[in-house]
Every structure is written in C-alpha cells, then in structure tokens.
Amino acid sequence: MKVSIIGTTGYGGGELFRILHHHPVFTVQSVHTTRDETPLSDEFPHLNGITNLKLEPIDTEEIAKHSNIVFIAAPSGVSSKLVPAFMETGIQIIDLSGDLRLTDGEVYRKWYKHEPVESRLVEKAVYGLSEWNKEKIIGAKLIANPGCYPTATLLGLAPVVKAGLIDPNIIIIDAKSGASGAGRSVAKSLLFSEINENFRIYKVNEHQHIPEIEQQLNLWNAEVSPITFNTHLLPITRGIMATIHVKLTENMSTDRLIELYKDQYLRSPFVRIRQKGNFPSVKEVSGSNYCDIGLHVDERTGRLTIVSVIDNLMKGAAGQAVQNANLMNGLNEKTGLEFVPIYP
C-alpha cells in the first residue's frame, strides 16, 4: 500500500517518515509541504542516503491517485482545510491535528481560537485512541488522531474512570512534555538558551487538550466534571509524563489496581503496566510506541497516583497514527512499530 505524508518537514512528519520507511506493508510514495520543491534530506540531513524523495506541493487529487492513505501532520487550522478535498477522493485519511477531535464546534472555537470545521466532517471522523476505539477504527476512512497529552492521560485514566472507581469530581493531571511537542516552528520561547536548564509551566488551565480529554472521559463516565490539567515544558526533546492524582471511592490496594490495569490492557501490546513499586520514566519509552503506566495508592490519603509516560512523537503522534493505519487496513496493530526503546 502506498502512503503520502503532508507536513513532512516538521517533527511529527519526520517521525512518520522514520516509521513508515521500514514498514513492511506501507510504502512512502510522496512527501508534501507548502514550501518549495527540495529533497527531503535538505530539511532533514539525517535522511541523506536513506531517501531521494523530494518535497512536493499538496495536490489532493494527485495524491489520491497514487496513494491509499494520507497522513496529515499540519498545524491545527490548516489541516481542516485539506480534509474535505481528500474526503471526496476516497483516500484513507489520518489527521494528526486537533481539528477533527472535538465534536462540539463551539468548544473547538473557545479553546483553539479558530473557526471550527463543519460538523458533518467531524461526525465522520473516528477518534483514534487505538486501545479503546479499536472497533470503530477498523474500517474507518477518516481518523482524528489523538493529541499527545490526551493519549498519555486517557490511557492512564481509562480503567478507573470506566469502572467508576474514583471520585469523578476530583481529577487532577499534572503533565510535562519535551520540547519537540511544540513543533519545529520558530519562536523565542523555544530557543535552546530559554529551555535548557529550565522548567516552566505554560497555558495554565488553558491548554487546548483539556476539552479533548474531558470529551472522552465523559463518554466513559458521564459523571466526570471539569478536570484540572496543567502542562509544563521539560528541557528534553522527547517524552511526556502525566502524573495523575485521583481519589478512590472505595478502599483498594495497589496490587488490585495493578491487576485491574493488566487485565484491561491484556490485548494492548503497547501498554505496559509496571510492577508494584516500579514507575516508568520517559526515557524508558523513547523512540518506541509504548505507553508505560505505574500505580500507587497512598493509604494516608486514599488517593491514587497514576504515572503514564509516552514518547510524544511516537504513541503521542506518528506511532499511534501508524497503529491506526494498521488497524484500518486489517493488519496486526504492531506491524512496523516494534521499536525497542532507545536507552540510554
């Protein structure tokens, strides 16, 4: 099967290329950007000698002629403009932006400060949280690929929220991300000297991933009320950790919760539940599609600490996108994604 990548000069697009280049079923047929036609390896010198593909302008009809799947790794507000034209061609679409994730246009407008896309488009999109939406993803034509923070957060919360084991009014998520999550766009706040040997909080209580998380939590459990979700910038390139603080509604041991999680993710090859007393660090999933989860019940407070880590460019973006493409096409979801984490 042939695939095309749009937005290949960003970090998410580059990571899609890294995965797809060795995928045993998919072949990268073309790479696209809005810029001039240059070899992809001019933008990404690490691809010298690996590919001779040239960046091409975005011609939806041309792309649909030669490819079966298109991955759109463009910024929110941009990708939604491309989707309708692709929809008409019948090509499979995986959109990595936030444009198709929120079912309520007004919510989108409020958090993204852009005009929402038509609701008929959003309705056709399947939210691509691979582990929990598998049935719908299989056979879907249009995927709204989840955000990086929502992926780490939702995989961490799903078992206890679905089972109604926590107080739905007190969900506090303290999230941290590496700088590649901000993309390759140029801004003073993203300069090396501003981030290195630093740590900062940003978009305090205003991150656009909040409604995405709440929408899914409410689908699982309608009683969940607005969450507290804060995001920090780590002086690392890759990696997200969501440290989640919730209140158990009944007495449960760490052991029993770990069992519950292992059970719930029994058929999820990319979710790894840690043993008691063991917590994942972000480097332990770097370069891989894993989401690692650690759990601890604090008996003093009756609160549960959930630690969920992913590589934001992999399970948080390109990796999950390919996982979804696998599912859409009847492949084993692991196909082409079995990277051992790079350590150290």
Q: Copy the structure tokens of residue 136.
A: 């719908």
Give the residue, chosen from 27, 34, 48, 332, that forms a contact with a second copy under the rule CB under 8 A: 48
- What are the DSSP calls for 223-234, one per residue? T--PPEEEEEE-
Residue 58 sits at φ, ψ, to 5 deg, of -95, 105
| Residue 77 or 235 with smaller CB distance to a second copy | 235
Min dist CB 118 to a second copy, Å, is 27
Residues 337 and 147: their CA atoms lie apart, in Å, by 19
291: annotated active-site residue: no
**Residue 298 is a binding residue for a second copy (CB under 8 A):** yes
**Residue 332 is a binding residue for a second copy (CB under 8 A):** no
Q: Which of 126, 137, 140, 148 is catalytic?
A: 148
**Residue 253 is a binding residue for a second copy (CB under 8 A):** no
Burial of 299 (0-12, 13-18, 19+ CB in 10 A): exposed
Q: Which residue has the tokens 């941290």?
A: 176
**Residue 161 is a binding residue for a second copy (CB under 8 A):** no
Give the residue, chosen from 7, 146, 239, 316, that forms a contact with a second copy under the rule CB under 8 A: 239
| Number of chain residues interacting with a second copy (CB under 8 A) | 83
71, 145 contact by CB (below 8 A) = no
Residues 172 and 198: their CA atoms lie apart, in Å, by 24
Which among 88-96, 101-109, 129-137, 225-233 is the span making contact with a second copy, rule CB under 8 A?
A: 225-233
Q: Convert residues 118-157 into a mask of x (bound to a second copy by CB under 8 A) and - (unbound).
A: ----------------------------------------
Residues between 8 and 47 that touch a second copy (CB under 8 A): 11, 14, 17-18, 21-22, 44-47
**Residue 341 is a binding residue for a second copy (CB under 8 A):** yes
Residues 322 and 325: their CA atoms lie apart, in Å, by 5
Of the candidates 260, 236, 259, which has an alpha carbon nearest to the alpha carbon of residue 313?
A: 236
Q: Which residue has the tokens 């029994």?
A: 266
| Residue 89 or 268 with smaller CB distance to a second copy | 268
Q: Which residues are catalytic?
A: 148
